[in-house]
Amino acid sequence: MVALFVIVVAFIAIYVASLFLSPYVKCSRCKNKPKRRGWMFSYAHHVCPKCNGTGQQVRFGTRVLDTLRGKSR
């Protein structure tokens, strides 16, 4: 039982450390290609509404971690 607890705590610590090192992932909607060409006029570009044209999203858990630290993204 204690070994399972140690494994779970170690997993959580590793995940939190990975959130500090890389808080963003590719956007699930545009796959890091935020500018799409218009379907009628090919010269018109539209930005992805989910990531606002950045191509990246905040990872799961980063917002909670930032709230605990008092930061906002």
pTM for this prediction: 0.66
Q: Which alpha helices (DSSP H) does 1-73 contain, by range?
A: 2-21, 62-69
Residue whose structure tokens are 């963003």: 24
Banded model confidence at residue 33, pLDDT cuts 50, 70, 90: confident
- Provide the domain limits for residue 39: 2-69
| pLDDT above 90 as % of the chain | 36
pLDDT computed for residue 49 by the predictor: 85
* Counted domains in the chain: 1
